[in-house]
């Protein structure tokens, strides 16, 4: 089973990137996962739709990351109560690629609420594009305190919740891929 991880923060120092890389590493250790691909929206830097020239190679690369995956794991921060505009803009370059695709969503925030507003925003979008959402979400709060200097997560709730989040996503993806 192939999983593509989409990192949705546009910030150079994105904390979301650390969470996304950690989850990719964990997925890579699961026997059911044969390959992972990491799509970081910062590496693509698509212009606002219709307002600039977009690289055909970048479009093709992002598109194949969506199409080739059996499941899509989105890891995104909350910006002003929604998903970041740059993330939504990146997604807007594609449409049919999302249809009937298993998806999981992890949201990230510096504060206590784990990006729950971005989660609801994303769920609306996923429903609209006819994706199939995993039943289990992952809210990552106080991300600044999550990792120790060795990059190991030290927050109790995160360590309790992320294995089930990934297990349920893999369960769903396997069901659909069959
Ligand atoms: C433009 C902007 C808006 C933000 N809005 C929110 C917000 O609505 N709620 C929240 O909990 N954190 C908010 N944050 C803080 C992010 O949660 C914080 O930067 C965190 O590290 C995750 O984002 P990152 O991956 O870009 O670092 C905001 C940050 C930025 C740059």
Q: How many folded domains does the chain comprise?
A: 1
Q: Is 56 helix (H, G, I), strand (E, B) or coil?
A: helix
**CA 119 – ligand 1 centroid, Å:** 13
| pTM summary value | 0.98
Query: pLDDT-based confidence at 178, cuts 50/70/90?
Result: confident
Q: Where are the alpha helices (DSSP H) in 39-155?
A: 41-44, 56-67, 85-91, 116-128
Instruction: Give strand pairing partners of 5.
Output: 38, 73
Centre of ligand 1 from the C-alpha of residue 46, in Å = 21
Return all residues near 88 (Cβ < 8 A) that are at least 6 apart: 125
Q: Tell me what the mean pLDDT of segment 158-164 comes to.
A: 98
Instruction: Give the Å distance between the CA of 133 and the centre of ligand 1.
Output: 23
Helix, strand or coil for residue 79?
A: strand
Strands 71-77 and 132-133, bridge-based pairing: unpaired
Residues β-bridged to residue 153: 147
Q: Whose CA is nearest to atom 1 of ligand 1?
A: 79
CATH code, 41: 3.40.50.360
- Do residues 102 and 72 lie in contact, with contact meaning Cβ atoms separated by under 8 Å? yes
Interval 23-66: pLDDT, tens: 999 999 999 999 999 999 999 989 999 999 999 999 999 999 99
**Contact at 8 Å (CB) between 56 and 23?**
no
Ligand 1 atom nearest to 114, measured from its CA: 11
Contact 102, 109 (CB under 8 A): no
pLDDT digits 0-9 by tens, 95-152: 999 999 999 999 999 999 999 999 999 999 999 999 999 999 999 999 999 999 999 9
Domain that holds residue 166: 2-177
Reported as type and span, the H/E element at residue 16 is helix 15-28
Atom of ligand 1 nearest to the CA of 10: 26
């Amino acid at each position: 089973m192939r999983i593509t991880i989409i990192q949705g923060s546009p910030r150079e120092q994105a904390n979301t990137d650390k969470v996304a890389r950690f989850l990719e590493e964990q997925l890579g250790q699961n026997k059911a996962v044969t390959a992972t691909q990491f799509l970081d929206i910062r590496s693509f830097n698509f212009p606002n739709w219709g307002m600039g020239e977009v690289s055909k190679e970048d479009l093709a690369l992002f598109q194949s990351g969506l199409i080739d995956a059996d499941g899509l794991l989105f890891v995104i921060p909350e910006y002003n109560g929604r998903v970041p505009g740059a993330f939504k803009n990146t997604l807007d370059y594609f449409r049919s690629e999302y249809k009937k695709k298993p998806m999981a969503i992890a949201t990230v925030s510096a504060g206590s609420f784990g990006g729950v507003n971005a989660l609801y925003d994303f769920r609306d979008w996923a429903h609209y594009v006819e994706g199939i959402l995993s039943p289990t979400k992952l809210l990552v709060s106080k991300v600044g305190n999550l990792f120790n200097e060795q990059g190991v997560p030290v927050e109790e709730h995160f360590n309790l919740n992320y294995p089930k989040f990934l297990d349920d996503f893999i369960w769903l993806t396997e069901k659909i891929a069959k």
